[in-house]
Amino acid sequence: MPLDPEVLEALRRNSGLTLGGEGVWRYHGSKVPHPRVQKLFHEGVEVRDDGEVVLHVGRLWCYVACDSVARFVDGIAFHADSGGFSARMKHGPVVAADVPPQLAFGPDERLYVWLPGQEVACFTRGAHQEVVGHLEPTDDDRGVELVIGSHRWPLPTLDEVPHPDAGAP
């Protein structure tokens, strides 16, 4: 006998799954312990058009509570000749572009990026360390610029932590 649609919706909304700001999955407050399950969940996460974050595992799905964004960059490499980059995403694919990434600092001192064809993503600690060597103060010392080869782009500071479907600043 199928579940009542209202009961099923309540179960999906109260899944107990959360995705923290460091890209760590938790179930009712406890870290999901197995790395393969963490990876599976990152691969199954989706940001819907209405901004809701859902997790798909096979035919099953549920809503996920997020501290901020639903995508995370695990590593980044810059291409000095074009000013482009390649970003290794926590959910699996590598996103590459011949244009500079749209980066911004959040009020939580985290680095956020808007990648082509992707939702906003947050840099993990490891990825953040990879970009630190490419940051320099602006000439007026009022901000920070991303420097790739001879290319320079100022990094804005956001007023609030972006949500999963936030547009670029």
pLDDT tens-digit readout, 91-140: 888 988 877 778 899 999 899 999 877 889 999 999 999 999 889 998 88
Does this model's pTM top 0.75? yes
Tell me how far apart the alpha carbons of residues 100 and 144 are, in angstroms, rounded to a whole number.
15
Please give the pLDDT value at position 140.
84
Displacement of CA 41 from its chain's centroid (Å): 14
pLDDT at 1 over 80: no
Give me the half-sphere count of Cα atoms (radius 13 Å) on the Cβ side of residue 109.
Answer: 3
CB atoms within 10 A of CB 110: 20
Q: Which fold has domain 71-155?
A: duf1285 protein fold (2.30.270)
Q: Which CATH class is domain 5-66?
A: alpha beta
pLDDT tens-digit readout, 11-24: 999 999 999 988 99
Nearest to 157 by CA among 106, 115, 101: 106
Tell me how far apart the alpha carbons of residues 33 and 12 are, in angstroms, rounded to a whole number.
21
Sequence-ordered list of residues with C-beta below 8 angstroms from that of 139, at least 6 positions apart, any chain: none
Dig out the tokens for 18 from the structure: 């959360």
All structural domains of the chain with their residue ranges: 5-66, 71-155
